Structure formats: structure tokens, C-alpha cells
Chains A and B, each alone.
Chain A
Amino acid sequence: LAKTTQPISMDSYEGQEVNITCSHNNIATNDYITWYQQFPSQGPRFIIQGYKTKVTNEVASLFIPADRKSSTLSLPRVSLSDTAVYYCLVGSRGGSGYALNFGKGTSLLVTP
């Protein structure tokens, strides 16, 4: 199982770019990297997913180096509503335990 390590918490001001890095040293060949956002008393919400290099969607970018042992979620110009816990998960359908790897997550606090 690919264990993930993230910073416990991060603080940012509104309008700044926030980068959250996740370490997953023993990621398997078939594993994808997926990031989720969770607000209090809500289920996690999918943000972005990638396998290698860079992926961008309307809310975030995901940077994955060639060795895939880490990944960085980039949130451009955060707002107060981006205050949430962000989880990095590593796994793949058909692989063992791909739903297990919820680490402690990163609690992001955005202030004015």
C-alpha cells in the first residue's frame, strides 16, 4: 500500500497561490494520484487526478515529477471558501487497498 505524507496544516491569504505537497515513496506502477477536498460535515469531493507530469482543470493543477514519488496540488488565487481539508490518495482500481489510503490530510486555512 502506498502510504502518503502531507503537511498537517497550511495557512494562506486570499488571492495567493497555495501548493500542497504529498509524498508517496512506494507508489506502484498502476497507481494514480487523486486529491480530494473535504468541508466539515460533508463527504470528500474530487478535485483532480493524475498519473504523471502535469494535469490542470478548472480548479487546480497537479504536478507529478518523473519518479512519481511525490505530487503537488496547486490552488491558484485561493479564496476563503477554499478553507478545507485536502487529502492525497494513491491507488488504482484492481490494486490492493486503493480506498484505504486516507492519511491525515492537510488543513488549509485561508484568511482575508
Chain B
Amino acid sequence: DVKVTQSSRYLVKRTGEKVFLECVQDMDHENMFWYRQDPGLGLRLIYFSYDVKMKEKGDIPEGYSVSREKKERFSLILESASTNQTSMYLCASSPPKGYTIYFGEGSWLTVV
């Protein structure tokens, strides 16, 4: 059974904290993505990576960074969490031409 696993389902963090969201996939996919999902706004791309150590900014990269040191793992980092980063974060992976896509279960982050 193919899997994208996100490390934390629910997190509550304080303003200014550094937050790490981890994502691991077991399908040997080249592409990995981080999205945030907010009511009425749909899925918005934060960063994506098409290979180890490669990363590309998406539509809303401000306040976020990413790391991909191994093919199976893609981490999202909030350097200094703010309340406007309260959201659901979804990790996804796909092969190069996007013929399949798999999502993690999502991480609900609340910043207080």
C-alpha cells in the first residue's frame, strides 16, 4: 500500500517558534510538494522539489523554507511561526509527469 506519511497530525505552536513538518513517501517519487489549504482558497503551493537537494518556490513561499536531503523525505520549516500560518498543511508526491499524485493525511497547525 503506497504511502505519504506526515509526521504530525495536529500541532499547536506559539508565535515565533520554529516549526518542522516532516513528510516521507515510500514510492520512490521524484516530485514532492507542500501545500496549505484554507477555506475558500483551495490548495496553494508553498514549495516543491523535483529531485534531492532541489527546490522551487511555489505561490506562497514567504515565511517558509524546505529541505530535501533524501529522496523520500521533504521537510517544511516555518522559521518563526505567525498566527496567519494557522492552516492545514498537505504534503504530496508524484512521478515526473504527474500521472499519479498521493497526498498525506495533512497536518493541522494552530499558531497562538
A and B form one complex: no
Measured CB to CB, the residues of A under 8 A from B are none
